[in-house]
Amino acid sequence: MTTAADDFLDLSDIQGIVVKAYSRFGFPVARYVLFRIDLPAHGRKFVVGITPMITTGVRWTDPASIPSAATNIAFTYKGLKHLDVLDASLHGFSDEFSMGMKARRDIVGDTGPNHPRHWDPVWHNESETGQHVHILVTIDGKGETEVEARYRQILALLVECPGVVQLSGQRGGGSDDLPYQPAAAIPPKPEEAGFPGGKEHFGYSDGISTTFFKGCGADPMEVIGEDKPVKGDPRTLEGWAPVAAGELIFGYPDEAFEYPEAPGPPLFSRNGTYLVYRKLHENTGSFESYLEAEGARFPGGKEALAAKFAGRWRNGAPLATFPTQESADRYIAELSALQLKVWAGQASPAEQARYQELALQLVALDYGDDKDGARCPFGAHTRRVNPRSALRFGNKKAFADDPGALSNRRRVLRRGLPYGRSETPARDDGDHGIVIMIVNADLSRQFEFVQQQWITFGNDFKLANDQDPLPGNHGTSKNCRAGGRMII
C-alpha cells in the first residue's frame, strides 16, 4: 500500500548526485577521490567533517542558488565496516554490494581485457590488510578553480583525521599514480555549439536522456521520452509516466508497490541508494579505423554506420526518428541554432515554442514505428540499454496496459563525465574514456541485469550472443582487434 506522501521525496536528505545530472547545471569538471579508513574513529570524524559540504537534492530554483561546486560521498561495504557500522545493518545489504564488483566480474562480463587486473592500480593489491577503497568523494564544479578549492577543503579534513588516507593509483595523463580521477566534459567544436548533450571520445553526443522519477523535482515536461512508456502517444505527456522513486532510492515504493530491500534501521538507509562506479576506456583508434574501413562499404558511409551502432547520429539525433543523415543534420542545425538563442535569452516566444517542440524529438520515441529495427537496429546501444516499448517487438496488444513491462524495472540513473583527452584519436592507448556512475536501488535487477543481459548478451533482443557494439566486451584477437558482431 502506498500513500500520496510516498510521492514526495525528502530531497534535503537525498544526495544531489542522485537527483541531478550535474552537467545539465553547468558543471563540466569533476574529480573523483578515493579514501581508505584505517581508524574507524577518524573515519567517522571525516564523515562528520565533510557532511556540511555534501550537496543535497534540493531543487535549485534559480541560477543564483546553484553552488560553484557540488560534493557527494559514497561508501563501499568494507568502508561501512571500517566505520564500525553495526553488523545487523551490514547484513541487510545485498550480496552484490557486499561482494563488490571485482567478485562479480563473471556476472557483469568484466573478463578478458576488462578483467580487474587491467583496472587502475588503485583497485589492485586488495587484501584484508592491504589497500582497500572505502570512500568515494565526487566533486563537480563550474570550473577547475572551483573544483580545486573544494578538493583542498576536503583534504584539509585529513589533517585532523590521519586515520583516513587518500588513495593514489588512478591512471591518467601518462601517470599510473594520480591522487584523484580527473574528468571533464569535452568542449564542443565551434561548429557543434548548441548541440544537445556533451561529447564523449567516440564523437557521440552523450547524456541526452536521463530517467525521470516521481518526486525528482524536474520540469514535468521532461517525463516525455525519459521515463516509462504508458498507453498514449509517445510524443506527448500522455505517452509517459514517471518511474517510481523506489526503483532508484531506498525508502520509497517501487514499481511493484514495495519498498526496496535495504539495510535497517530505516533511518540508516532511507534516502540512500547503490552507486556503481565504472571507468571505461575507449579505444578511439580502433573505433575510427573500423568506421573508416567498414563505412566505405556501408550505404550512408561511416557516419551512418556510427549511427547504427549507437541508435543516435553522432550529433545526437535519434535514428528511429531521423533515419537519414540529411534529416538528422537539418534537425540538429535548427535545434542548436535555437538552443543558442534560448541560452542567450534572445528567442522570441515563437522560437521558444519551436525549440521545445524540437527538443522533445530528441527523446520522445518508443520504437513503436520501427518494430523491425529498419531504422534503429535491435542491437544499437541506446535501444539496448533503454528499450522503451521495443521488447513488445511491434505487438501492440502485448502488455497493452504497460508497454514497458519488460524494461520499467531495469531503469537506472546515469551520472559521470568523460575523462582524459584523445589528442591522438588514431591510437587506443591514451588515457581517455568515460567515468560512468550508475544509481539504482537493486544492483542485481537493474545494473547487473542491464550490464549482463542487455550489454554483453542479446537474447532479449533475439540477437543470440551478440553484444552491445559500444560497451560490450568483444575481447581482443591476437592482432588486438575486437571480435564483436552486429547485424544492422
The yes or no reply on residue 296 touching other proteins (CB under 8 A) is: no
Show Cβ contacts of residue 51 under 8 Å, excluding neighbours closer than 6 positions: none
Q: Which is nearer to other proteins, 155 or 464 (CB)?
A: 464
The Cα–Cα gap between 310 and 316 comes to 10
| Cβ atoms within 10 Å of 337's Cβ, excluding its own | 14
Instruction: Report, in Å, the least distance between residue 409 CB and other proteins.
Output: 6
User: Would you call 207 helix, strand, or coil by DSSP?
Assistant: coil
378 binds other proteins (CB under 8 A): yes
Binds other proteins (CB under 8 A): choice among 126, 406, 414, 481: 406
Instruction: Please give the sequence-ordered ranges of beta strands (E in DSSP) within 235-365, or none if there are none.
Output: 240-241, 274-281
- The answer for 301, left when phi > 0, alpha when psi is -120 to 50, beta otherwise, is left
Residue 487 lies near other proteins (rule: CB under 8 A): yes
**CB of residue 7 to other proteins, shortest distance in Å:** 18
Report yes or no: 337 and 217 within 8 Å, Cβ to Cβ.
no
Residues forming beta bridges with residue 166, ordered by sequence position: 35
| Cell numbers given for 205 | 553526443
Stretch in the footprint of other proteins (CB under 8 A) among 29-37, 158-166, 228-236, 253-261:
253-261
Among 54, 165, 360, 405, binds other proteins (CB under 8 A): 405
287 belongs to the binding site for other proteins (CB under 8 A) = no
Question: CA 329 from chain center: how many Å?
Answer: 26
Element (H, E) at 355: helix 349-360
DSSP assignment string, 289-311? HHHHHHHTTSTTHHHHHHHHHHS
User: Judged by CB, which is closer to other proteins: 103, or 221?
Assistant: 103
For other proteins, the closer CB: 20 or 383: 383
* Binding residue for other proteins, selected from 150, 409, 432, 474, defined by CB under 8 A: 409
Q: Please pick, from the candidates 258, 292, 369, 429, the single residue that binds other proteins as defined by CB under 8 A.
A: 258
By CB under 8 A, residue 189 contacts other proteins? no
Among the listed residues 348, 312, 350, 353, the one whose alpha carbon sits nearest the alpha carbon of residue 332: 312
Among 13, 302, 393, 414, contact with other proteins (rule: CB under 8 A): 393
Q: Is 288 helix (H, G, I), strand (E, B) or coil?
A: helix
Q: How many CB atoms lie within 10 A of CB 8?
A: 13
Among 89, 398, 421, 481, interactor with other proteins by CB under 8 A: 398
User: Which of the stretches 36-44, 147-155, 159-167, 388-396 binds other proteins when contact is defined by CB under 8 A?
Assistant: 388-396
CA dist 476 and 465 (Å) reads: 16
Instruction: Assess contact for 175 and 182: CB atoms under 8 A.
Output: no
End-to-end CA distance of the chain, in Å?
45
402 lies in the site for other proteins, by CB under 8 A = yes
Residue number, 340 or 487, with CB nearest to other proteins: 487
Find the part of the chain contacting other proteins (CB under 8 A) among 124-132, 237-245, 352-360, 394-402.
394-402
Window 443-472: residues binding other proteins (CB under 8 A): 444-445, 449, 452-453, 456-460, 462-466
* Residue 293 CB, nearest approach to other proteins (Å): 20
Sites of contact with other proteins (CB under 8 A): 103-104, 106-107, 109, 256-258, 261, 372-373, 378, 392-393, 395, 397-399, 402, 405-406, 408-409, 444-445, 449, 452-453, 456-460, 462-466, 485, 487
